[in-house]
């Protein structure tokens, strides 16, 4: 009997790693009947007489579980947003941040391709950086052509399980290659990546980096607000979460209620207007999603 973490799942096998090495295991016979599906990232109990004939006996409780990619116990998400090509979208960033917060995952905001940053957009980007830092988020700037920026990102991956998330073309795969040159993950020039579907078999795997792990597939394929309630949304914006204690009404949604501490902070400029606007937009989306089902 041993304890370990599943780092890869492929063709019915689970690859469990611990300090003694990696063990190829099958799921225990009754898992199927009990509807237990071990996931990459799971902590498990297993038994193995050798490195290739093990059995996963028990799956520990998960801190979270992503559906696509199927991976459990993710601790950190590196949210990659290019400053140019594609240009920076604070709306999309806020959407990602809400999902990360809802899943109990620590975000790192990575502003990529800073070598392409134009003078006209630089000011705006710096202002965003300041806003997000003040909220309490970590922000790093990267360019795959500037080694020092890659080295600033590296320590953040230490000792954690991370996923890289973000729009297609922002440079996720390129960043992973820059961090771990042996990986050779395929990257796509933007113009060619559109349209043609690739038919490579995908499996999820955790790759060791900086005594942590990185999932080699992008996290969060779906960004709808399924499962997030209107009353909950304010708690997923850290700058609102703190201030909502000062609202007159319990369960204040910070939209039309009087004596709202969040709106007061907005008036004072302590909460960024774009963050609040996106919050209101997400509230509307949640409400119209509810109406549809
Ligand atoms: N100028 C510049 N281009 C980059 C950078 N990182 C990635 N790219 C380019 O952006 C395109 C998309 O990169 P890729 O890593 O495939 O993005 P992904 O879809 O997020 O995995 C490729 O043509 C890369 O060469 C960067 O830091 N600077
Ligand atoms: Mg990629
Ligand atoms: Zn309020």
pLDDT band at 202 (very low <50, low <70, confident <90, very high): low
Contacts 24+ apart (CB under 8 A), 14-18: 14/38, 14/44, 14/56, 16/44, 16/46, 16/48, 16/54, 16/56
Distance of CA 100 to the CA centre of its chain: 6
Q: State yes or no: pLDDT of 134 exceeds 60.
A: yes
Contact 143, 149 (CB under 8 A): yes
The predicted structure's pLDDT at residue 252: 96
- Residue at 223 is within a domain: no
The predicted structure's pLDDT at residue 111: 98
- Which atom from ligand 1 is nearest to the alpha carbon of 164? 20
- Which atom from ligand 1 is nearest to the alpha carbon of 145? 27
Average pLDDT over residues 160-180: 93
Which domain range does residue 174 map to?
Answer: 71-215
- CA–CA separation, 9 and 205 (whole Å): 7
Contact 179, 191 (CB under 8 A): no
Is ligand 1 within 6 A of the CB of residue 146? no
Better-scored residue on pLDDT, 224 or 47? 47
pLDDT more than 90, % of the chain: 78
* Ligand 2 centroid – CA 167 distance (Å): 9
Q: State yes or no: pLDDT of 68 exceeds 80.
A: no
CATH code for position 106: 3.40.50.300
* Ligand 1 centroid – CA 176 distance (Å): 11
The predicted structure's pLDDT at residue 293: 65
* Ligand 1 centroid – CA 66 distance (Å): 25
Better-scored residue on pLDDT, 145 or 183? 145
The predicted structure's pLDDT at residue 184: 79
* Ligand 2 centroid – CA 179 distance (Å): 14
Q: State yes or no: pLDDT of 201 exceeds 50.
A: no
Q: State yes or no: pLDDT of 88 exceeds 90.
A: yes
Asked which of 32-46, 178-192, 222-236 is least confident by mean pLDDT, the reply is 178-192
- CA–CA separation, 147 and 151 (whole Å): 6
- Residue at 211 is within a domain: yes
Q: Residues 10, 94: one domain? A: no
CATH code for position 252: 1.10.40.50
| Residue from 171, 180, 202 to probe ligand 1 pocket by mutation (most atoms less than 8 Å from CB) | 171
Q: State yes or no: pLDDT of 192 exceeds 90.
A: no
Residue with tokens 């509807």: 35
Average pLDDT over residues 75-100: 96
Q: Residues 8, 45: one domain? A: yes
- Which residue CA neighbors atom 10 of ligand 1 most closely? 171
Q: Residues 148, 204: one domain? A: yes
Q: Residues 51, 20: one domain? A: yes
- CA–CA separation, 244 and 242 (whole Å): 6
- Which residue CA neighbors atom 6 of ligand 1 most closely? 171
């Amino acid at each position: 009997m041993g304890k370990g973490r599943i780092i890869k799942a492929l063709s019915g096998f689970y690859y469990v790693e611990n300090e003694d090495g990696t063990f190829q295991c099958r799921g225990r016979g009754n898992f199927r009947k009990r509807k237990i599906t071990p996931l990459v990232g799971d902590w498990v109990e297993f038994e193995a007489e050798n490195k290739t004939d093990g059995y996963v006996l028990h799956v520990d409780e998960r801190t979270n579980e992503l559906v696509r990619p199927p991976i459990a116990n993710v601790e950190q998400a590196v949210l990659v947003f290019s400053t140019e090509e594609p240009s920076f979208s604070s709306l999309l960033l806020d959407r990602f941040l809400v999902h990360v917060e809802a899943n109990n995952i620590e975000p790192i905001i990575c502003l990529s391709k800073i070598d392409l940053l134009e003078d006209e957009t630089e000011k705006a980007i710096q202002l965003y950086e300041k806003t997000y830092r003040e909220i309490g988020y970590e922000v790093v700037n990267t360019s795959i052509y500037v080694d020092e920026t890659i080295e600033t990102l590296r320590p953040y991956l230490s000792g954690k399980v991370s996923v890289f998330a973000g729009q297609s073309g922002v440079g996720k795969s390129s960043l992973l290659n820059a961090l771990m040159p042996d990986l050779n993950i395929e990257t796509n020039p933007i113009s060619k990546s559109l349209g043609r579907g690739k038919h490579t078999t995908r499996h999820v795997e955790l790759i060791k980096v900086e005594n942590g792990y990185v999932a080699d597939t992008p996290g969060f394929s779906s960004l709808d607000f399924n499962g997030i309630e209107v009353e909950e949304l304010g708690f997923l914006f850290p700058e609102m979460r703190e201030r909502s204690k000062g609202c007159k009404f319990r369960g204040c949604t910070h939209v039309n209620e009087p004596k709202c501490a969040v709106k007061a902070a907005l008036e004072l400029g302590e909460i960024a207007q774009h963050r609040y606007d996106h919050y209101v937009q997400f509230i509307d989306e949640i409400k119209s999603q509810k109406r549809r089902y």
